[in-house]
Amino acid sequence: MSPDQVKQILDEANRAQLLKNIAQADESLIQHKLQAKGSFEAQMQKFLEFQSKAQSSQPPPSSSKPKTDSVLDRIDRKRFEDVFNRRMCNDKIIKVKASKPRNEKILTLLITRQGPQHSYSEVVKRDELIRYGYSEWMELLDLASKQTSAHSSELTCALHLLIKKVQRLDLVPKEQSQHQGQRASVPRSRRTKFHVDGEDVLVLDFGAGVINNSLPFGVDPVQHQFISAPEHGMFYLDKNRRMCFQRTTEIPKAPTTHLVGLRQMCMSHQDLSREFHILIAMELLNRRQELLDSPYWPVKIEAESMKNSFLGVS
């Protein structure tokens, strides 16, 4: 046998062995992959079983708590839990005067009570009203709402906030609409004149018929307060201390003297009336001829109208 034949036989044998080794290696690799796949599937199955057990062991989600169960509301519930029955003093409050000393930001209240034999007074800060009872708040609100000063209006707002808070927490019964019964009688005079911050103000009485100045439904009226819903306008008092409401839509129908008086009110109580005086000023600008006898009004009204146009207020 020649060397070439021997070499050929060896080469074929080596090739056959190599193919066998490759086949064995492929089979081993396939087995390894199958084992790995089985291990992965087993681990995944274990994970899914664990996750299922964890979810089944968790308690069902509790129903969402109402908003009134916030931390602040829980504190207020504790603070005002007896507000409907408590009073600082059993003697009825018959008078209140609100003032704000110079360089102070909090109202000072001079409260007068009717004692068994004679009346007496006490001085408290506005923030101390939280210690009073619901019936005392209502007595103070009844007195403050009949006054026309800016400090009285601030006191009225503070009392309304306290009353609304305890009503929202269901600690007291809901207050009946204050406008009920006010439409039963109509004052004789159509316009009334009284004093506000050193100026005479002439405004229409409640139910005068010239404009619709009845109160909007579902809103607690606060003197000089501007609201945008459910109707756009501002509250004011007539001479009989009846609450009225000047609607923005009724401004063009209102007499000039009424608008001038209402504008004076707005200027004196801008913290409550906001920019309502600008809307009145725009209407009065169209009536400048009626106001030419007074040099103040045309200039002031025109200046405010220009400001209104600059700010883009409609």
Average pLDDT of span 75-100: 89
Mean pLDDT over each residue of the chain, to the nearest integer: 75
pLDDT(291) > 70: yes
pLDDT(66) > 70: no
**Contact present, 275 and 305 (Cβ < 8 Å):** no
Token pair for residue 195?
């004093």
Most confident of 37-46, 196-205, 255-264, 294-303: 255-264
pLDDT(239) > 80: no
Alpha-carbon gap, residue 117 to 106, rounded angstroms:
32
| CA atoms within 13 A of residue 74's CA, in its CB half-sphere | 5
SS3 250: helix
Average pLDDT of span 58-79: 64
240 pLDDT band, cuts 50/70/90, is confident
pTM of the model as a whole: 0.39
175 pLDDT band, cuts 50/70/90, is low
H helices of 82-217, in order, are: 134-144, 150-168
Token pair for residue 31?
């087995």
**Contact present, 125 and 109 (Cβ < 8 Å):** yes
The burial of 266, by beta-carbon neighbours within 10 Å (0-12 exposed, 13-18 middle, 19 or more buried), is given as buried
**Contact present, 169 and 77 (Cβ < 8 Å):** yes
50 φ/ψ sector (left φ>0, alpha ψ -120 to 50, else beta) = alpha
Alpha-carbon gap, residue 188 to 298, rounded angstroms:
32
The burial of 222, by beta-carbon neighbours within 10 Å (0-12 exposed, 13-18 middle, 19 or more buried), is given as buried
22-55: pLDDT as tens digits? 666 666 666 665 565 555 566 556 656 665 665 5
180-201: pLDDT as tens digits? 333 333 333 344 444 444 344 5
Residue 141's alpha-carbon distances to 89, 156, 157, in angstroms, are 17, 6, 9
